[in-house]
Amino acid sequence: MWDYSEKVREHFLNPRNVGEIENPDGVGDVGSLSCGDALRLTIKVDGTERIVDAKFKTFGCASAIASSSALTEMIKGMTLNEAQNITNMDVVKYLGGLPLEKMHCSVMCREALDAAVADYRGEAVHTHDEHGRIVCKCFGITEDLIRRVIAENGLQTPEEVTNYCKAGGGCETCIDEIESLIALVHEKVVTHEKPVPKKEKLTNIQKIALVQETIANEIRPSLVKDGGDIDLIDVEGNRVFVALRGACSNCPSADMTLRYTVEQKLKEFVSEDLVVEVKE
Instruction: Set out the domains of the chain in order of their start, with CATH numbers.
Output: 6-120 (3.90.1010.10), 134-185 (1.10.10.1100), 204-278 (3.30.300.130)
61 among known catalytic residues: no
Q: What angle do CA 144, 149, 153 make, to 5 degrees?
A: 150
Q: Report which secondary-structure segment, H or E, holds 37.
A: strand 37-45
pLDDT attached to residue 199: 55
Mean pLDDT (whole number) for 174-178: 92
- Within 10 angstroms of residue 54's Cβ, the number of other Cβ atoms is 27
User: For all residues of the chain together, what is the average pLDDT?
Assistant: 86
- Summarised one tens digit per residue, pLDDT across range 199-246 is 567 888 888 999 999 999 989 988 888 788 899 999 998 999 999 888
- Three-class DSSP category at 191: coil
pLDDT value at 277 more than 60: yes
192 has a pLDDT exceeding 50? no
What pLDDT is attached to residue 261? 82
Mean pLDDT, residues 187-196 taken together: 54
pLDDT at 138: 73
The predicted model scores a pTM of 0.57
Collapse the DSSP code of 187 into the 3-class scheme (helix H, G, I; strand E, B; otherwise coil) and give the result. Answer: coil
136 is catalytic: no
Question: Does 79 score more than 60 pLDDT?
Answer: yes
CB 257 within 8 A of CB 220: no
Which residue in 35, 61, 138, 251 is the catalytic one? 35
**Sheet with 37-45, side-by-side order of all strands:** 26-32, 37-45, 51-59
Q: Which of 61, 105, 165, 174 is catalytic?
A: 105
User: 6-52 pLDDT, tens per residue?
Assistant: 999 999 999 999 999 999 999 999 887 656 688 999 999 999 999 99
Which pLDDT does position 24 carry in this prediction? 97
